[in-house]
Amino acid sequence: MDVYKRKSNLKLVLLLLGIAIGISTLLYTNHLATKMASEEKYKARLWAEAIARKARLVRYTKELFTKLAADERKKVNIYAQSTKFVLTINDNEMLTFFNEIVTTNNDIPAILVDEKGNMLGARNIEIPPVKTFLELPKKMIAEFSSYAPILVDYKINKNYIYYKDSNLFTKLKQTLSDLVETFISEVVVNTASAPVILTDEKMNVIDYGNIDSLKMTDSKAVMAMIREMQGAHEPIVADLGEGVFRYIYYDDSQTLKQLRIFPFIQLGIFAAFLLIAYFAFNNARVAEQNLVWVGMAKETAHQLGTPISALSGWVELLRDLDGMKGNEQLLDEFDSDIQRLSLVADRFSKIGSVPQLSPQSVSETLERNVAYMRKRASEKARFLVFCPKDLSIKINNQLFDWVLENLLKNALDAMDGEGEIDLEVSSDSSHVHIDVTDTGKGVPKNKFVTIFEPGYSTKRRGWGLGLSLTKRIVEEYHNGKIVLRRSEIGKGTTFRISLPKV
């Protein structure tokens, strides 16, 4: 198993493990959030039921008070009729009966006034201090004006009975008022911490709770909030009796909303952590690889320097020997290969340092490298160059020649020395594109990603450094881009180099 397959399998295992951890964590936290959300909903439902019951209690209490008020009105009517009969009846037993009715009114404050406004009598009230008795009716009639007076018609003259609520009934009404206030308070300040708006039948806001007061200043925003609440929950209708209804609109509490999105926030944080960790480790790995590359390249250049210098000296020594006369061509070839070794050493020495770039003709650069490879290739390998003459790019000749040499060597190896290699150049407004196409074996699709990684090679004895070095030289030293543009098994491969146009 090669190193990239092992790395891919390890990545897959780690990915599956991370997904398993993430899913299990998400499920558990979602379970907790759902449980807490259920408790919040239960609390909100209890609050809503309590409010509904309190509303029913207010309604029943109002109905009871209405009945009590009617009963008091009846009492006053009976009191009025009894007063009339006391003054007109002659039967002693009947007189005693009606007199008892009149005297048994011990709780309803009432005054008897004639048609001229003179007070004839009073029950269950304290007479305020006045200078004349005649001043009393004006003050008392004003105080007793809550209800319409009851007429006591004697045919000869007419009297009126003014009355007001009894002390007991007044206290009960205060209790009802307190009950309504408590109802509103419990709606607004709820234990479920739910945002709530209390309105009347015409959608006028009576009160609100757990809502920013600034939001309640804009009527349009308030109506939008009410519609949103109505969409989330059916409003609670509170029947307060006597045709008075209140509508309670409410939403989920902020805590409940946060609980619902908490698992997804946690998943996002977990994913962000994994991405950060991945990029951190990847950058550390790349930095370590760079150090290894630079160190190995410079050490290679250093190690090659000594034997290359020695070989150059030996060639010059051989030229001076009498026995080598007539073998100058052979010595020239030796010297040419030594120069090539010097060029290779120079290339390695430039790895890790900033190379000097200069404008170069694209066609001349391609023709020079093709001519070099043509001499070392089989006669069955054909090289074709399609390039405009007027295109230029900024390159370092030694390094860029290395790029083309690697691509052409790989193409020859892929074709087993037999086939066609095309170098086609095109350009756009900003870049020059060089396509190197062979008719070789092609690259499997599952290798498209790893083909530029160090260690990838289709050869048994290859180190898999050629394309990795090529990518580094093009992208890091020439601000360009190299991609595997096309490849089909048995049909060939196309690499594209894109460099900034001069």
Position with higher pLDDT, 384 vs 175: 384
Query: How many whole angstroms separate alpha carbon 481 and alpha carbon 471?
Result: 8
CB-based contacts of 476, cutoff 8 Å, min separation 6: none
Q: Are 198 and 211 in contact (CB under 8 A)?
A: no
Give the Cα separation of 13 and 228 in Å (integer).
46
Cβ-proximal residues to 223 (8 Å cutoff; 6+ apart), any chain? 203
Superfamily of domain 355-500: Histidine kinase-like ATPase, C-terminal domain (3.30.565.10)
The alpha carbon torsion through 344, 347, 351, 353 (nearest 10 deg) reads 150
Single-letter amino acid, residue 136: L
pLDDT at 110: 77
Dump pLDDT digits (tens) for 284-301.
777 777 777 677 777 777
Minimal CA–CA distance to 149: which of 99, 183, 177, 115? 115
- CB-based contact 369:405 (threshold 8 Å): yes
pLDDT per position as a tens digit, 444-487:
888 887 788 765 565 544 444 678 888 988 998 899 999 999 99
**pLDDT tens readout for residues 123-161:** 777 666 555 445 555 666 667 767 777 777 766 677 777
Residues whose CB is less than 8 angstroms from the CB of residue 8 and which lie 6 or more positions away in sequence, other chains included = none
Residue 466's pLDDT is what?
Answer: 76
pLDDT of 96 strictly over 50:
no
Q: Above pLDDT 70, what percent of the chain? A: 68
Q: Which residue pairs from 448-453 have beta carbons closer than 8 angstroms and sit at least 24 positions apart in sequence?
A: 448/484, 448/487, 450/4, 451/484, 452/482, 452/484, 453/4
Token pair for residue 106? Answer: 């011990």
**Partner residues linked to 153 by β-bridges:** 158
Tabulate helix, strand, coil % of the chain (nearest 5).
60, 20, 25
pLDDT at 15 over 90: no
Token reading at 401: 């020649």
Please report, for the chain, the start and end positions of each structural domain, with discontinuous segments joined by +.
Answer: 17-168, 174-254, 355-500
Contact 403, 497 (CB under 8 A): yes
Residue that has been written with the tokens 């060939």 in this structure: 492
Task: Work out the pLDDT band at 495, boundaries 50, 70, 90.
Answer: very high
| Mean pLDDT score, 81-110 | 53
CB neighbour list of residue 320: distance below 8 Å, 6 or more residues apart: none
The per-residue pLDDT for 445 is 85
Which among 251, 266, 260 is positioned nearest to 37, based on CA atoms? Answer: 260
pLDDT in tens, 248-267: 888 877 777 777 777 777 77
pLDDT tens for residues 190-203?
555 778 888 888 88
| Global model pTM greater than 0.85 | no
